[in-house]
Structure 1
Amino acid sequence: MAIDATTGSTSALTAATTTSTENPNGVLGKDDFMQLLLTELQYQDPTEPTDTETILTQTSQLASLESADNTNAALEKLTASLGSSQQFSTISAIGKTADLGSDAIAHDKDTETTFEVYFPNDVEQGVVSITDANGQTVKTLDVGTNPAGVYQFTWDGTDSSGNQVDSAIYHVNAEYTDANGDTQQTRLGAYPIESVRFDGDNTYLKVGSNYVSLENIVEVY
């Protein structure tokens, strides 16, 4: 009987080794533990069978493992569901205004710089002011008389005297008179949200003529 028991132990070891070889990452699930338990019972020494309490303890551990696996699976599904729900809730932002948090543009000397400004109200007359880091006005661009909307401007890189300015960060703001004769102000970086696009786990908002990642939006109002 002792010889049989030794043979059984060797077989059990072989089965465990096979499982390890087929699972190179060393990750065991509930099915693997069940297989180990059944192998242990199959090759136990009949003269010294596994204690009943031990079997119950192992079975209880197996049940706990299965419960933990089911909980993890449920949490993964819940996380995916919440992610999708959060994405689609962004659709409610369409029609509102997104603020990118900055009115700055980067300009390179001897080149033209194009930017967009949103005017929430009809414009009777107004100007776009380009200022330097010290708040000094470098150039003004005429807005003209236009209905509310997003308008593109091209700055040739010259100051009010016609000289090319240095490469630097400049700021863009606008002041205009609306159809009621009231003075209004706006700036680069605030645009109406026209649509929402989903690309995998990423969400993009169309502001002006560009799509901007949701993480780059600092405020929606």
Structure 2
Amino acid sequence: MAGITGAGQSNLSYLDQLKGMQEKKLQDTQSKVTGQNELKQDDFLSLLTKQLAQQDPFKPVGNDQMIAQMASFATVDGINQMNEQFGSLNSAMTSSQALQASSLVGRDVLIPGATGVKKAEGGITGMVKLPQALDNMMVRIENEQGQLIKTFDLGAKPPGEHRLEWDGTDEDGKPLPEGRYQVKASGMVGGENREFEVSTYANVNSVLLGNGDGNVMLNLAGHNSPFKLAEVLEVGKA
């Protein structure tokens, strides 16, 4: 790659010379771990100064070419600064979200999914979303093995979201052990039985900052995997 060797010998544009410098530095870093491996602002200014000082006086660099080179440099520099600012803004927003999410510890949040966690005492509370009115909505409770534990009906329901509450007992009214249970809701639509979307409440144990992707995660009681804060549908009582 040719370089600037003296007056009247610079036939390469400013950007071509930058490209040559970059390629040479990349080759050097293949055999050398430490050292500078990217062009800095001083490199651009140094090359620009040399190009002006050593240009052919009979064929000087045109104003249009000079303006284009300066504009290219300004654009690249501006993009780098913008990326740095976005990175700082993302870190600040993540920290702010984590601080706000810390107030959820000990509270119940509504999350998507029909799997609820029953404590030693009490049952499971959830929410069902109905796209249309039902004459009678049925609720089924199943254990982790898919075995039917209990069924009960909630009567006629209009379209919208409706609260579901299971007291934690079986068909005979006996309390069931703590664990994970499925809450399913269904009803007759057009002569066919149809299941509807169910969400359940879970208690927040702790807050995580995620894996460096900017997501704030919640550790929920009885759930093996954390949930994103953005997935929370509703915050319940403490």
TM-score normalized by structure 2? 0.48
| 1:97 Cα offset (Å) | 1.2
1:62 maps onto 2:73 in alignment: yes
Picking from 152, 177, 180, the partner of 2:178 is 152
Tell me if structure 1 keeps the 8 A contact 2:219–2:225.
yes
Match of 2:220?
Answer: 207
What stretches of structure 1 of length at least 5 have no aligned partner? 106-114, 122-127, 145-150, 155-169, 174-186
- State the Cα deviation string for residues 44-70 of structure 1 (Å, max 9, x = none): 113433346754564455345433432
Tell me if structure 1 keeps the 8 A contact 2:111–2:234.
no
Match of 1:190?
Answer: 201
Partners of 2:18 and 2:114 lie apart in 1 by 68
Tell me if structure 2 keeps the 8 A contact 1:100–1:190.
yes
Picking from 134, 137, 142, the partner of 1:130 is 142
Q: Percent identity?
A: 17
* 1:142 counterpart SS class: coil
Q: 1:15 to 1:57 in 2, by over 3 A?
A: closer
What stretches of structure 2 of length at least 5 have no aligned partner? 1-5, 28-37, 125-139, 152-168, 185-197
| 1:74 Cα offset (Å) | 1.6
Show the 5 A alignment for 1:88-167.
88-104=99-115, 116-117=118-119, 119=122, 129-130=141-142, 137=150, 140=170, 142-143=174-175, 152-153=178-179
- The one-letter amino acid paired with 1:66 is D
Partners of 1:89 and 1:29 lie apart in 2 by 39
Partners of 1:74 and 1:189 lie apart in 2 by 39
* Pairs aligned (count): 169
- State the Cα deviation string for residues 117-157 of structure 1 (Å, max 9, x = none): 47389xxxxxx953899x8848927228xxxxxx6249xxx
Partners of 1:136 and 1:61 lie apart in 2 by 69
Q: 1:218 to 1:59 in 2, by over 3 A?
A: closer
Q: 1:100 to 1:37 in 2, by over 3 A?
A: same
Tell me if structure 1 keeps the 8 A contact 2:114–2:182.
yes
| 1:194 Cα offset (Å) | 3.1
* 2:209 counterpart SS class: strand
| 1:31 Cα offset (Å) | 4.7
Greater Rg, structure 1 or structure 2?
A: 1
